[in-house]
Amino acid sequence: MNKDTLTGFVLIGIVLIGFSWWNQPSEEQIAEYQRQQDSIAAVQSDLEAKQKMAEAERKDSFVITNQDSAIVKQEAKDIVLKNEKVELTLSTKGGTLTQAIILGFEDKDSAENLTLFTPEDQQMNFMLAGKSENFSTQELFFTPTNVTDRTVTMTAPMQNGGSIILDYELGEDYMLHFSLATKGMSGMFAPNYNAVDINWNSRARQQEKGFMFENRYATLTYKEKDGGTDYLSETSDVNETVEEALDWVAFKNQFFSAVLISKDDFAKNAKLTSTPQEKGSGYLKNYDAALSTVFDPSGAKASEFEMYIGPNDFRLIKDVEEQSRFGKDLDLEQLVYLGWPLFRWINRWFTLYVFDWLTGFGLNMGIVLILITMLLKAITYPMVKKSYMSSAKMRVLKPKLEEATKEYDKPEDQMKKQQAMMQLYTQYGVSPLSGCLPMLIQMPIWIAMFNFVPNAIQLRRESFLWIDDLSTYDPIIEWSTNIWMIGDHLSLTCILFCVSNILYSYMTMRQQRDQMVGQQADQMKIMQWMMYLMPLAFFFMFNDYSAGLNFYYFVSLFFSAAIMWILRKTTNDEKLLAILEARYKENKNNPKKQSTLAARLEALQKQADELQRQRNNRK
């Protein structure tokens, strides 16, 4: 770049800077511009406010024309039905339930009473298809009469002189009875018209601290007529058409439900939808049910319904179900999920009774869990002891087994080795399979408790030691971001459960290793590291689970380890070996029939020998 070009660029820059400075607004001009912008913003804000008011008036009002063409404006009003258990709000706009508050139960923010749903969450609409027009209760205004603390009759007058009537009665507990009927409208429907459509949708509010854990037990549940109950997926977006007629449909949270029941059943092909919501939204799922049931357009017979709105308490639901006026076996207690048939049977006929008995003493729920664990350990102790003694017998016989089978160390002789060992076990009166019995017995109990504890509403808001709430996780540390497979916290009871699991795994593996012979011991070493990985897997699974469940597993494993340690310390190996030697001599003089397993091993060995002989002959 030469000197003349550089000089030209400098002069152009000076001119631009000077022009910008010369044309910049004065302070008075800046102030005036700011006043104009503030004025425009104020006008815009006022306009938006008026638009919102107009929209609210449109939603909360309805214009009807009477015979004199006079315009009458109605406003939505709330009618509250209340007893000692619930407070239900009905709106004259739509005539249906808009809000439910369950009294005496805290929400996740520790409010004194729990709001199950609000007008923003819940809508219920009854739709009738007339010959010339359709009628939707959501668009009608109802006049309340017969208003008491527990009753109200909602009447929506129609232009032809007829009316739609919704009659409500709140029971003593959590059951709401209501009916839908028309009066003077029979000529407005087709002669064969006999059904009313119901569109019920609601958002399940998050009521507990642990979103992920609560979401696992929040489900849209339904009961088929003359059949069992079922539910939509807890984790995925589901839109399902149920081909069977239904007794009821429930919008269920972990511990609370709203259940719609029809006297004359909901017709086949009900459309049910469940849509999971994002963590932090304040909601678990969006539920939607498109249903239909019997309707009499003449008004001679009302379409009758009931709603259970309350806690998922097994005993309570069975008692409240008796208030139903429909004479059906509603089986509402199925809302409390107790597991698959075998595990449900254990929980239904054992765990529930023990739990009720212990809670009847007014004990803390943490103590109740400890006592249940001790009772189960006491019941299974004789079998555990028998299993341990079988393992102890195999342990003291290990040197003799190794000596007797040392000639079968080649890989191709393993079948013969197993056969020889089983022969010796039979002669010494030892059953290797008896060591598996305690695990087979305790596993169903573990799985049954896995289903029982998270659904026991009695643990909700119950504290114990450092645990504030046994129904959700107990964090020792929390953070704001969500870490994959861990979440946003560390649960202390989960850590204790995993540590106790490692301790118990170590003790059982050591006991099994002491009784293994030859290659069995080598295989046990290979499997050992897998046993230690299981507690790590349990940590990722149970870190978000309830503290009550983790605490039960921790206590159960602690007692199991303690029982095994005591049995080990109180077992005299020398005396046990002497008893076995005496039995060996007795059996040798009076040989008994081989055990089934030994006989099978011998048969397999003979088959292997025969196959080997045939191969040799062919060669």
Question: Which CATH number is 322's domain given?
Answer: 2.70.98.90
Indicate whether 367 and 304 sit together in one domain: no
Q: Count Cα atoms within 13 angstroms, Cβ side, for 50.
A: 6
Is the same domain home to 459 and 316? no
For residues 284 and 278, is the Cβ–Cβ distance under 8 A? Answer: no
| Shared domain check, 283 and 413 | no
**Residue 55 falls within a domain, yes or no?**
no
Indicate if 98 and 153 belong to the same structural domain: yes
Whether residues 329 and 359 fall in one domain: no
Q: Are strands 487-491 and 475-483 parallel, antiparallel or unpaired?
A: antiparallel
With respect to residue 17, please indicate whether it lies within any of the assigned structural domains.
no
Same domain, 185 and 313: yes
Q: Residues 374, 293: one domain?
A: no
Question: Among 314, 336, 98, which Cα is nearest to 219's?
Answer: 336
Nearest of 345, 329, 584 to residue 445 by alpha carbon = 345
Tokens of 182: 């028309």
pLDDT in tens, 171-222: 999 999 999 999 999 889 988 999 999 999 999 999 999 899 999 999 999 9
Decide which of 270, 302, 337 is a domain's last residue.
337
Contact (Cβ atoms closer than 8 angstroms) between residue 196 and residue 108: no
Residue with tokens 């507690």: 535
pTM for the full predicted model: 0.79
Residue 64 lies in a domain: no
Q: Each residue of 269-299: pLDDT tens digit?
A: 999 999 999 998 999 999 999 999 999 999 9
Judged on CB neighbours under 10 Å (0-12, 13-18, 19+), 594 is middle
Answer whether residue 14 is part of any domain: no
Q: Per-residue pLDDT averaged across 537-563, rounded?
A: 93
End of a domain among 302, 337, 372? 337
> What residues make up the domain containing 167?
77-337
- Total domains in the chain come to 2
In this structure, the answer to whether residues 316 and 386 fall within a common structural domain is no
Are 180 and 113 found together in one domain? yes
pLDDT value at residue 436:
62
The per-residue pLDDT for 398 is: 79
- 479: tokens are 């953070």
- C-beta atoms surrounding 403 within 10 Å: 9
Same domain, 453 and 564: yes
Q: Say if 420 falls within a structural domain.
A: yes
pLDDT tens readout for residues 95-117: 999 999 999 999 888 889 999 99
Count of beta carbons in the 10 Å neighbourhood of residue 251: 28
Residue 8 pLDDT exceeds 50 = no
Residue 47 CA, distance from chain mean position: 47
Same domain, 477 and 582: yes
Report residue 67's pLDDT band, with 50, 70 and 90 as the boundaries: very low
**DSSP secondary structure string for all residues of 383-413:** HHHHHHHHHHHHHHHHHHHHHHTGGG-SGGG
Residue 555 has pLDDT above 50, yes or no: yes
Residue for token digits 């699991």? 501
pLDDT tier at 75, thresholds 50, 70, 90: confident
Between 157-166, 247-256, 375-384, 434-443, the lowest mean confidence (pLDDT) is in 434-443
Are 392 and 475 contained in the same domain?
Answer: yes
Task: Read off the amino acid at residue 274.
Answer: S
For residue 18, being part of any structural domain is answered with no
| pLDDT the model gives residue 51 | 44
